[in-house]
Amino acid sequence: MPADQTPTSVAELPPYRAMLVVDVKDFSGVPGRRHAELTDAIPGILQQAFRRCGLAEMWDEARFPRTTGDGHVLGFRAALLPFLINPFLGALQDELDYRNTVRPLSGQDAPIRMRVSVNVGPATDSNGALLSDGSGNARIETHRLLDCEPVRDLLARSSDTTCVAAIVSARAFEDAVLSGYAADDPDLYVPAPVEVKRYQGIAYLRVPRPSGDLLRRGFHPLESTEDTVTDANQDQHTSPLVNTVGDVDGSVVQAREYHRHGGVNIGGNARDVITDAQGPVITGAQHHAPQFYGDGVTYTTGNHSGNVKQRFENTKRPNPKQP
């Protein structure tokens, strides 16, 4: 920073870099005596995956390669972002499948499976001269995406056939996938909300070889699906409401399952307003701010003649103001 600048003055952005971070599933479950072997094997797996899809030179020019112990970080020129998505993700799936079945590590008890995060954004880069290379918010975001529940859930709900579960940032998805540069169908990606620590956003899930529950139920977490089904079932069995209106001059407005905690204002020449649920029965004209509790409220306005009937069934609900 020049001497005449302060930490709050305007500064140039660092160069944009495409970033790849991988993490081995259940690394902590591996016996400690094997940690070093597995950590050392990760760069070789990645390098071979690049070679497998004809991108050996891309590996050679990687920026700020770093180990995370249970994973690895790589940076690249932003122009290479599309290749990290296609063909690399598929090649990594094939390489892990090959190693798990043909060339497992010594003492390997379970297949190696990886979560992968792909992002793009400004990151410091001195071409390898500084340990801090790769620093910036984009780098933090890349790690947050890797740790989020939606991508973890993909490996948890799939079989060992699925070796790679990837999450692509919204920026990378727009720049590389929607633009067509990655030559990968956008319909292969599923948007997912991400909330990790202080980070919130939308990212896109991609699984080169889905299996198990991912094929049966899709990419979204199972608990969300169950909650949706439960809510739907409750909607079907809660508060059945049948109204019969005959010979009415004027307008009738029916609000089904209208719940209000507080006052409900009723005005006009309403001769009888009756609720069959818990609460007072109000009659007369131009009543203001009584409280009603129940599963339905019929509100009529104007001058009416004839019959207005309302029947509630199974509408018992607790009064929130009763102890």
- Rounded CA gap, 174 and 169, in Å? 9
DSSP annotation of 13: P
User: Which of residues 311 and 264 earns the better pLDDT score?
Assistant: 311
Q: What is the pTM of this model?
A: 0.68
Domain that holds residue 104: 16-229
Query: For position 64, what pLDDT does the model report?
Result: 94
Query: For position 6, what pLDDT does the model report?
Result: 72
Query: For position 223, what pLDDT does the model report?
Result: 54
> Is the bond preceding 87 in cis, omega lying within 30 degrees of 0?
yes
- Rounded CA gap, 245 and 256, in Å? 15
Q: What is the pLDDT of residues 177-236, one digit of tens each?
A: 999 999 999 999 999 999 988 888 999 999 999 999 999 999 986 554 444 444 444 544
Which of residues 167, 202, 229 is at a domain's end?
229
For residues 31-47, average pLDDT: 93
Same domain, 70 and 112: yes
Query: For position 268, what pLDDT does the model report?
Result: 44
For residues 151-179, average pLDDT: 98
For residues 273-284, average pLDDT: 48
Strands (E), the chain: 16-24, 63-67, 71-77, 114-122, 164-169, 190-196, 199-206, 241-246, 251-256, 272-273, 282-283, 296-301, 307-312
Distances in whole angstroms, Cα of residue 56 to Cα of each of 47, 60, 77, 220, 225: 7, 7, 15, 34, 42
Give the CATH number, domain containing residue 69: 3.30.70.1230
Flag whether pLDDT at 249 surpasses 80: no
Flag whether pLDDT at 309 surpasses 60: no
Q: Which residues contact 180 (CB under 8 A, 6 or more apart)?
A: none
DSSP annotation of 284: S
Same domain, 218 and 259: no
| Number of domains the chain contains | 2
Query: For position 135, what pLDDT does the model report?
Result: 96
Query: For position 3, what pLDDT does the model report?
Result: 54
Same domain, 209 and 283: no
For residue 183, being part of any structural domain is answered with: yes
- Rounded CA gap, 101 and 18, in Å? 31
For residues 58-62, average pLDDT: 96
